[in-house]
Amino acid sequence: MKKVGILTSGGDCQGLNAAIRGVAKALYESEKDKVEIYGIADGYRGLIEGDYRKMQKSDFSGILTVGGTILGTSRQPFKLMRVVGDDAVNKVDAMKKTYKKMGLDALVVLGGNGTQKSANLLANEGLNVVSLPKTIDNDVYGTDVTFGFHSAVGIATNVIDCIHTTATSHGRIFVIEIMGNKAGWLTLYSGVAGGADVILIPEIPYEPEQVLDVLEERRQNGKNFSIIAIAEGAISKADAAMSKKDLRIKRESQSALPGAGYRLVEEIDPEHKLPIRVTVPGHVQRGGSPCAFDRVLTTRFGAAAAKLVREENFGNMVALYGKDVVSVPLSETAGKRREVDPDCGEVRAAKDIGISFADE
């Protein structure tokens, strides 16, 4: 009897249940009654604390379209994995102990950058690990696309679409803060799809004065409204030039400002003379049903992960490369981030049609 454990770690996103379903159904199809699947609760926490249960085939029915994760999730920062806290628990040793206690033949891990690093750590510790890349940020290195990204793009684009109508009606400037602290893929795609006038992302530091120039140019051309899509991790050129320590001190002094959108307003309109409003859709971008693209992608990823388990090809992450689902060694993906290239095709196309990144 083959025993396989599954866990979902880090922030949730659309498609986690669909991916879990893909793994399980592919294993049941290939192994028939010779496989047992165990769901590990709340990500690595469940592996550390021994919180798991044997799953039934019925557990994986009816979850293709359901958002969230039936296994639960939590954040276990990679940098703290080897740190023994007040509870005196050695997390790595505890995870290895649970793995052996369960008698697992393989562990399937679904997660983003931090999750992949921890998966690689466990693989290096001798555990049979296979991983799947998920995150709405689309920043996992080694894959062209992560599942959850296209679903979130649809939601963020709809937010911009809805804001467009009220911005037009009232002649207002709207700053829409999109998720993405380290990478701007979500803001870039939804900004282009939603017809934003300005897109600000972490990889391209901006000049506040240039944002003002865009707004003034639009006003002079008879456009009484503007849409600015800004990533939560976007940063001005002045702030980007600061040391991490000085920037941290500055951010602490701006603690009354909830995020990048409000900081931008203070930078371009400190006296609050302009008709500016800020919208922060927040966690709604991570919720709800996965889009059709993500349902197909998670099914492909799940089937590919099951194949790696069958073939005992461990220490790998499944990935989309072009049109093909492939496997990539965790050692090559862990610790790296897939960021937006300022000269990539999407950015060039946006600039070609007049969208400003306030960087020139």
Rounded Cα gap, residues 235 and 242, in angstroms: 11
Helix (H) or strand (E) holding 326: strand 324-329
CA 203 to CA 34: how far, in whole Å?
48
Q: Which residue(s) pair with 279 in the sheet?
A: 176
Contact 285, 155 (CB under 8 A): yes
- Residues 322, 144 contacting (CB under 8 angstroms): yes
- Measured CA to CA, the distance from residue 242 to residue 222 in angstroms comes to 38
In DSSP terms, 276 is beta-bridged to 173
Strand order in the sheet with 226-231: 198-200, 226-231, 173-178, 276-279
Residue of 137, 139, 197, 294 marked active site? 137
* 59 tagged catalytic: no
Residue 330, classified by CB atoms within 10 Å of its CB into exposed (0-12), middle (13-18) or buried (19+), is buried
Active-site positions read 137
